Amino acid sequence: MLPRIVSTLAALVFAASFAAAVSASAAELSAQQKAWLAQAHRHEKAGWIYLHIEGEPRARGFQHGYLLAHEIAEGIRVTAAQWEHDSSFDWTWLKEQTNGFISNGVDAECAAEMEGIAEGMNAAGVATTYADILAYNASIETTGYWWPEVSSKFSGSATVVTVPKEMCSAFIATGRMTRDGKIVLGHNTMSDFTLANYNVVLDLVPARGHRILMQTQPGWIHSGTDFFLTDAGLVGCETTIGNFKGFSEKGTPEFIRFRRATQDAGSLDEWCEIMKRGNNGGYANAWLVGDVNTNEIVRLELGLKYIGFERTTDGYFIGSNIAENLKILRLETETHDTDIRTSPVARRVRWKQLMKANVGQIDVAKAKEFEADCTDVCFDTTDRPAALGLNARGDLGTQLINPHREPFKPAGTCDAKVVDAAMAKQMKFAARWGSADGVAFDAEKFLEAHPQYDWMTGILQSRPSQPWVEFSAGEK
């Protein structure tokens, strides 16, 4: 038990030192700050935090930072701990190396909102800086895309082992595919369980642009998962393009492009054009987006050098972390598109089976079933969560014949969300926190059973079974 004890003590020391670093005396609020907070509110429901913010960039940032100060600090702590374990470098080093080129692509409005978040946290007695909030918002891109491109400079090796990107299972359907002929969208987030901190439903009303209702993480001005609705009638999500290679420090960060597109765009074409503008290759995704006013849907795949684009008013698009565009697949990824032992290919096959079997039947109820589907088409299992299912649970499956997968890795599905056109027009969606089929995750029992993951002690959190609930813009 000595390694476990040492690991636990190290985690506790890290947590204590971080808590000491962020502790501060809550400042007396100014009249302006009190007025800002009077327009915002938060509440909790079924494992989710609902946050409403509104107004000018600094005001809504302050609301966000003040009301979620401790959750944001915890998010940064966990992100920093995961980064240091994976890279051996600390959070300060990451900020110093990346904030310079990241900041070059940040527009004034987004910068002001992040400054407001830092200001709100400090006013709530949780010390932080704009540099921390910027690095935190960019962390998916810097740790997952920039780092693989530059890490060989520090390792002295031309070959650097990186973890395959397998994040999210999603579909969007319309026309003949759905029960009412209108759009239905479903999405679940796949993540390392240490980083499964995406339990915020953000109702954002900017002074200029469109109202957004989206899933996000405490302290982020973007979604990150991604799942969103806007009052322009747009609904959308993404699935990460797996095993992707490529990143440009000269481009506009993905989290900025997402925010600008989602707040500013009034149509599918506008949304896609903003996402393509200044593309840096960071967080390379297949975006599934629809317009509930026209019932048109699109799939926009953004590599670094290549772009895939499809649109229809009668059909479906799926996402399982494998590029459909052949240029992106062959030239910008290392995915073998017929190896059913891998999660993206297995889930892609399962999506095609479900779409074929449910023509004309897809609605919100079916979408919930799809996102919780446990079928493993490689190992022919249907009765339990599996690492290769749409409702992926790496902690419960071995899949030892796949050389790319760690047995029992604590990663997989950590939520599910669904919406149809009628709900979207009312600015609401249904969501479930935790595994999409309701199976709980007990971190303490997991670590006891799998001591190879002792380093996660103090950052791996349990997620009990939660019910499906609905969220709407403006709810109290």
User: Which pLDDT belongs to residue 22?
Assistant: 42
pLDDT one-digit tens code per residue, 137-179: 999 999 999 999 999 888 765 445 455 566 899 999 999 999 9
Report which DSSP code applies to 88: S
User: Which pLDDT belongs to residue 122?
Assistant: 98
Residue 9: other Cβ atoms inside 10 A? 12
- In this predicted structure, the answer to whether residue 211 has a pLDDT above a threshold of 60 is yes
Q: Which two tokens stand for residue 40?
A: 């915002």
Helix (H) or strand (E) holding 193: none
Q: Are 72 and 221 in contact (CB under 8 A)?
A: no
Please report which confidence band the pLDDT of residue 403 belongs to, taking 50, 70 and 90 as the band edges. low
User: Which pLDDT belongs to residue 172?
Assistant: 99
What is the distance, to the nearest Å, from the Cα of residue 360 to the centroid of all Cα atoms in its chain? 30
State the Cα–Cα distance between residues 177 and 352, nearest whole angstrom: 12
pLDDT exceeding 70 applies to what percent of the chain?
A: 89
Q: Are 370 and 390 in contact (CB under 8 A)?
A: yes
pLDDT one-digit tens code per residue, 263-319: 999 999 999 999 999 999 999 999 999 999 999 999 999 999 999 999 999 999 999
User: Which pLDDT belongs to residue 460?
Assistant: 97
Amino acid identity of residue 172, one-letter, is I
Pick the closest to residue 97 from 40, 37, 14, 154 (CA basis): 154
What is the distance, to the nearest Å, from the Cα of residue 284 to the centroid of all Cα atoms in its chain? 12
State the Cα–Cα distance between residues 78 and 86, nearest whole angstrom: 12
pLDDT one-digit tens code per residue, 62-73: 999 999 999 999
pLDDT one-digit tens code per residue, 408-463: 899 999 999 999 999 999 999 999 999 999 999 999 999 999 999 999 999 999 99
Give 56 or 376, the one with higher predicted confidence.
56
pLDDT one-digit tens code per residue, 73-116: 999 999 999 999 999 999 999 999 999 999 999 999 999 999 99
In this structure, the strands spanning 48-55 and 200-206 are parallel
- In this predicted structure, the answer to whether residue 1 has a pLDDT above a threshold of 60 is no
State the Cα–Cα distance between residues 264 and 270, nearest whole angstrom: 8
pLDDT exceeding 90 applies to what percent of the chain?
A: 84
State the Cα–Cα distance between residues 334 and 393, nearest whole angstrom: 23
pLDDT one-digit tens code per residue, 216-239: 999 999 999 999 999 999 999 999
Q: Which domains does the chain have, with CATH numbers?
A: 2-44+54-155 (no CATH), 169-465 (3.60.60.20)
